[in-house]
Amino acid sequence: MQKDYDLGFAYAQNFINMNEDDSASVLRWRNSFEVSRWMFTAHKISLEEHEAFIKGLASKNSAFYWMVKSGGKGLGVISINGFNRDFRSAYLGIYANPENGEKGRGGILMNALLHIAFAEFGLETLKLEVMASNEKAVSFYERNGFAHEGRLRSFAFHGGVREDVIIMGIMRDEALKIISGSERNK
């Protein structure tokens, strides 16, 4: 599962297969204000920390990260974390490249993530956690078929403030409709 995926509409390159330039791009995106302000770990990631993280992924069987490209341009990052083979469940991670302002990249990232999670990994359910104040992300997930499943009150401490975290999820049958395009942006 530590592999790359050519999805036709995009290419998902596993972090462990990235070259130095792509790795540097991912680090720059992750450290940008646009991305880091919504992460649970908001400190600036050092090059050493970034390289150690990627190196550590090679031996993990529950966390997978990909840089997604289309037309040779980096669109962003997607991930599957907490992958449980027995339960066929996991959590997602996703963020767009803040240096690429092209419209539609979020939809491409989500399609790539759903395809890998459900068609390749065979998941039955995919969950996410998002800060309640990130209304743009919550709306994006809703448009992409994710349902509200819970709320963790005062769960995160970010920017000196306690913050609620919303739990959302999507089931296999719902995701397959999104992948096929029959339910996207209704």
- Can you tell me the mean pLDDT for 111-120? 96
In which domain, by residue range, is 41 found?
Answer: 5-180
Q: State how far the Cα of 146 lies from the Cα of 86, in Å rounded to an integer.
A: 22
186 lies in a domain?
no
How confident is residue 96, by pLDDT bands cut at 50, 70 and 90? very high
Domain-embedded: residue 142: yes
Residue 99 CA: distances (Å) to CA of 7, 44, 62, 70, 132: 23, 17, 29, 14, 25
**Amino acid 43: pLDDT:** 86
What average pLDDT does range 118-141 have in this prediction? 97
How do residues 164-180 score in pLDDT, each as one tens digit?
A: 999 999 999 999 988 87
Start-to-end CA span in the chain (Å): 32
C-beta separation of 156 from 165 below 8 A: yes
Q: Is residue 185 part of a domain?
A: no
CATH number of the domain within which 123 lies: 3.40.630.30
Closest alpha carbon to 22 in 69, 84, 89, 78: 69
Residue 184 pLDDT class (50, 70, 90 cuts): very low
Q: How many domains does the chain have?
A: 1
In a domain, 66, yes or no: yes
